[in-house]
A and B are shown apart, each in its own frame.
Chain A
Amino acid sequence: MLGISRKKKISYVVNLAIVILLYLVFTMLIRQGIVNSYYSDIMNMMCINIIMAVSLNLVTGLLGQLVLGHAGFMLVGAYTAGLFTIHSGLPLPVAFPIALVLGGLVAAIFGVIIGVPALRLKGDYLAIITLGFGEIIRVIANNLTITNGAKGLYGIDSLNSRHNLTAMFTYIFFIAVLTIFISFTFGTSRHGRAVISIREDEIAAEASGINTTYYKLLAFILAAFFAGVAGGLYAHQIGLIDPSKFDFNRSVEILVMVVLGGMGSITGSIISAGVLTILPEALRGFASYRMLLYSIVLICVMLFRPTGLLGRSEFSLMKTVDKIRGAVKGKKQDPASNKEG
């Protein structure tokens, strides 16, 4: 037992070190101008998509429910945060974090409003309800004056300035890390186990003393909260939001990330969110064949890995090191070849 807990501690420290290292390397690259704003924007979008995918994974992977309206929560968060920073009159560095939390909270409230009636249903039925929600939210945002209708909300300032090119990246990166951390710790706490038990067998969960309604709602609200925060980040990242950015396609895009990475696998979601953000950009050279190639990649993955890249397992640095050590018995191991997703 002692060995396991020590290993856990080492693994925490190693992961933390990698996170900090990654951050330092990227900020340095941005500051030095080696990574230009085009690439750093892609990187930010990647982190935002990671937050979206990891949060959707809480519902789709952990709770095992199909949700097709995740972009709806993102929209709520984006507009809440955007409106707050525009109208609050507070200086941006102060207003920004408050706006993010507010965006998350309002999205979570919407999560409750949708979740209470919707979570009585499961599978296809829940998918259609959430699909309906996503569309309703979008149509409402399209028609309200406060959201500036279809013209969209503009003038949402980015934290980045000429002197500080990495402010947005810092926020987005660390919130993504926090999201990953929390969804991992949540998944391995008693609450996460209860949520998983509902996925596995709802009747047995209820018979084991699990208040299934409560835990379903909990997972749903948590996912909505993070989607709201991601929306807030997104609004400030691109500066102009309009309802069409949060349509059905967006929800599907995020769902694809989760399914492709393996439903229930956090690291899978991270990897596939990363790949699927970069892929369309990397394929720009192919002009109009771009979406064709993108779709072929999706089809191939699903044909050859129907459970997604990682299935339900997690990529773990320590386990990989152990495996390599086992494979290269006797030889000293060079850890430089390992990568963190």
Chain B
Amino acid sequence: MSVLETKNLGIAFGGLQALEDVHFSINEGEIIGLIGPNGAGKTTVFNLLTDVYMPTQGVIELDGNNIVGKKTYQITQNGIARTFQNIRLFKDATVIDNVKIAMNSQMKYSVLAGMFRLPSYRREEKAVSKRAHELLEVFNLDGYAHDSAKNLPYGKQRKLEIARALATNPKVLLLDEPAAGMNPTETMELMETIMLIRDKFHVAILLIEHDMNFVMGICEHIVVLDYGRIIAEGTAEEVRSDPKVIAAYLGGE
């Protein structure tokens, strides 16, 4: 049973059809790679899934419910979390606060309870603090919990962003170029982390990446976009040998 499914998804910016007839589905625990040349519309797909842009056609179904038209924060609360191509952390907040902020919608205490430190505040803050530490531990970030996020090294900032996305309890995790700017060792480490996330948190992962070794090594299923259309999909092997994909990347006749 697919967690996330898009049908006939598309968006036009004025006369420019940026995406057309994009359809794919992800099952729980599946890792799907979204690749394509620059400007193919990969990040736009993410932006449609999270309502940064409103699709001009098609539907996005999360657990069978259409989420088109919902606000970004509602979509996140419903179970789609994402990271960004250029890291967007809450830089001046501490590492653990970054995670706690993402857990905000799972907390219930009122403004007054927070102001006057009522029992509900203490109880929920304690629980959230524990969960946040546990989550950081998975990413080996617990030692940095009280440092400012901006002071983390680059690779750890990427990890923190993933941890923050997971803190929202997602069903689907969207990773936008998670390996960008990483050296081969860090990339290897990231691949392991992503496998771990899949197994430990039972999420479906949709990722955009240019590092082909990374994509081919980790994704069970790959979707190739070019000029806003899906030109090929399948396993790493199938995609690699598809003439249309080769043409898109290397230029064809």
Q: Taking the complex as formed, is B93 at the interface, i.e. its CB lies under 8 A from any CB of chain A? A: yes
Interface size class of A (residues with CB under 8 A): 20 to 34
Partner-contacting stretch, out of B15-23, B28-36, B101-109, B207-215: B101-109
Q: Is the CB of B90 within 8 A of A206?
A: no
Q: Is A129 located at the chain interface by the 8 A CB criterion?
A: no
Within the complex, the shortest CB–CB distance from B120 to chain A, in Å, comes to: 11
Q: Are B88 and A210 in contact (CB under 8 A)?
A: no
When A205-B101, A206-B73, A210-B105 are in contact, do A197 and B90 touch as well, CB less than 8 Å? Answer: yes
In the complex, the answer to whether A190 meets B117 with C-beta atoms within 8 Å is no
Residues in B with CB closer than 8 Å to A201 are 88-91
Least CB distance from A24 to B in Å reads 24
- B168 an interface residue at 8 Å Cβ cutoff? yes
Closest partner residue, chain B, to A192 (CB atom): B114
Is there a chain B Cβ closer than 8 Å to A275's Cβ? no
Complexed CA–CA distance, A182 and B115 (Å): 5
A211 interface residue, CB < 8 Å from B?
yes
Verify if A189 is at the interface (C-beta below 8 Å from B): yes
Interface membership of chain A positions 198-215, coded 1 if the CB is closer than 8 angstroms to chain B and 0 otherwise: 011101111111111000
- How far does the Cβ of B109 sit from chain A's closest Cβ, in whole Å? 7
Residues of B within 8 A of A196 (CB): 90, 92-93, 97, 101
Structural contact, B90 and A194, CB atoms closer than 8 A: no
Residues 81-101 of B, flagged 1 when their CB comes within 8 A of A and 0 if not, give 110100011111100010011
Contact A212 B92, beta carbon cutoff 8 Å: no
- In the assembled complex, which residues on chain A have CB atoms less than 8 Å from the CB atom of B105? 209-210
Are B100 and A193 in contact, with the CB atoms below 8 A?
A: yes
Residue of A nearest to B91 (CB): A200
Query: Which residue from chain A places its CB closest to the CB of B50 in the assembled complex?
Result: A207
CB of A185, distance to nearest CB on chain B (Å): 5
Q: In the bound complex, do residue B104 and residue A194 qualify as a contact, i.e. CB atoms below 8 Å apart?
A: yes
> Which residues of A lie under 8 Å from residue B157 when comparing CB positions?
none
Q: Is there a chain A Cβ closer than 8 Å to B116's Cβ?
A: yes
Q: Which of A191, A193, A212 contacts B111 (CB 8 A)?
A: A191
- Asked if A171 is at the interface (CB within 8 A of a chain B CB), the reply is no
Task: Assess the A208–B93 pair: CB atoms within 8 A.
Answer: no
Chain A CB within 10 Å, residue with most, of B91, B101, B105, B117: B101
Please judge, given known A-B contacts A201-B90, A312-B92, whether A210 and B104 are in contact too, CB under 8 Å.
yes
- Complex-state Cα separation, A211 to B102, whole angstroms: 11
CA distance A218 to B125 in the complex (A): 20
Interface residues of B (CB under 8 A from A): 50, 52, 71-73, 76-77, 81-82, 84, 88-93, 97, 100-102, 104-105, 107, 109, 111, 113-117, 121, 124-125, 128, 164-165, 167-168
